[in-house]
Each structure stands twice: as C-alpha cells, then as structure tokens.
Amino acid sequence: MAETASDYHHGDQDIHAQQATFHSVLVATKWSIVALAAGIAFLTLWFCTAAGFFCALITAVIIVAVGIFALRERPSAH
C-alpha cells in the first residue's frame, strides 16, 4: 500500500479537459446572466410599468448589446 502513494507526482496530470470544462461553464454562465437580465427587464417593463412592449423590447436589446460588447472573448495575451 505504501508504494501507491509514491506513484503520484504532483503536477504531472493532464488538466486540459478540466480547463475546457471550466471555460465552458464560465461562458455558459455569463451568457445566461445576460439573457436573464434582458428577459427580466423586458418582462418587468412590459407588464409592470406603463412603458409598453416596444420600450421594453428596446431596453432588452440594449442590455443584450451592452452584454455582448462587455463579455465578448478577447484575444489572449499568452
């Protein structure tokens, strides 16, 4: 049993699968948040205020546009 503990070498494992999964989760999370923010703003303005459908739609489109601009992938400096 003592031999199996010495077979492990810290830092030798391939972590590309974990990196890809982590990146995918982050991308899905940030775009889901943009979609939720736009959807909540749209529905709130449409049904809970006197703003109406088109004002709510314009607001939601602006939120999505700002989200796309702010959260886009940037080239890596590495």
- Inside any domain, residue 66: yes
- Inside any domain, residue 62: yes
Q: Which pLDDT belongs to residue 4?
A: 61
| C-alpha–C-alpha distance, residues 26 and 36, integer Å | 15
- Inside any domain, residue 41: yes
- Inside any domain, residue 8: no
pTM, two decimals, is: 0.74
Q: 70 or 12, which is more confident?
A: 70
DSSP string of 2-27? HHHHHT--TT-S--HHHHHHHHHHHH
Q: Which pLDDT belongs to residue 74?
A: 82
Over 80: is that where the pLDDT of 38 sits? yes
Give the mean pLDDT of the chain.
88
Of 57, 34, 36, whose CA–CA distance to 47 is shortest? 57
- Inside any domain, residue 15: no
- Inside any domain, residue 61: yes
Q: Which pLDDT belongs to residue 73?
A: 82
| C-alpha–C-alpha distance, residues 29 and 77, integer Å | 23
Counted domains in the chain: 1
Query: Residue 2's pLDDT band (boundaries 50, 70, 90)?
Result: low
